[in-house]
Amino acid sequence: MRQKGISLNIQPTDAEDLSEDHVGTSAETPMRADAFDLDDEEKIEQIEKHFREIMTILGLDLTDDSLNGTPRRVAKMYVKEVFSGLNPKNRPHPRLFENKYNYDQMLVEKDITFYSHCEHHFVPIYGKAHVAYFSSGKVIGLSKINRIVQYFSKRPQVQERLTVQIGKEMQRVLQTEDIGVVIDANHMCVASRGVGDTNSKTGTAYFSGKFNDENIKREFLNYINSK
């Protein structure tokens, strides 16, 4: 059953204050210095080879027509799709526009669907992101907010870090401190393994600037909870 509403009072965080199941590092995705020494095709070839070995160890018959192409499919999916947000070449570069209409109220992009992967078990995290800002003189195309959410979700993640990364990127792009982000997500590492709880959801938030004002925060939360 879906929860009726999201009611959070979470201050901005660097993803350090996490539970023992979510070991924190920083707001940056942990990456090696040589992360991009290999091009995409070389990565696909190596992942295909190693995933074939994993399937063989599991006892699967890779001569079967249904399974033979799976290692290649998984490798391409990892590099080109579900983990494409690891590559800085894929980072969105939104164009900003002058706020000629002098709109000075909150703008909210609600119910942005995202799919990510838990970095602890490499199974899906999926849900909705809600992003809001006050213009500091510039506005952004609405679809570009979605692209920012997708970029940071397409990498191994913990939800706390994902929330912070979206919030900080919105601040950087829009040149404003007045950013609110709320994420409501399902974790397959909770639902499909371990405790096997298919009903629980996880909520995280990032509030900065004007969104630390309780009235503005309440306005934002009331709107994203409305039908």
Whether 189 has a binding-site annotation, put simply, is yes
Give the contacts of 160 (CB within 8 A, at least 6 positions apart): 13, 15, 18, 22, 24, 204
Whether 121 has a binding-site annotation, put simply, is yes
Catalytic residue positions, numbered: 118-121, 159, 187, 189
Is-contact 65 108, C-beta < 8 A? no
Give the contacts of 98 (CB within 8 A, at least 6 positions apart): 137, 138, 139
* Dihedral angle over CA of 88, 48, 119, 83, nearest 10: 30
Whether 130 has a binding-site annotation, put simply, is no
Residue 156 to residue 218: CA distance in whole angstroms: 31
Length of the chain: 227
Grouping H, G, I as helix, E, B as strand and the rest as coil, residue 18 is coil
DSSP tag of 187: E
The binding site for Zn(2+) comprises: 118, 121, 189
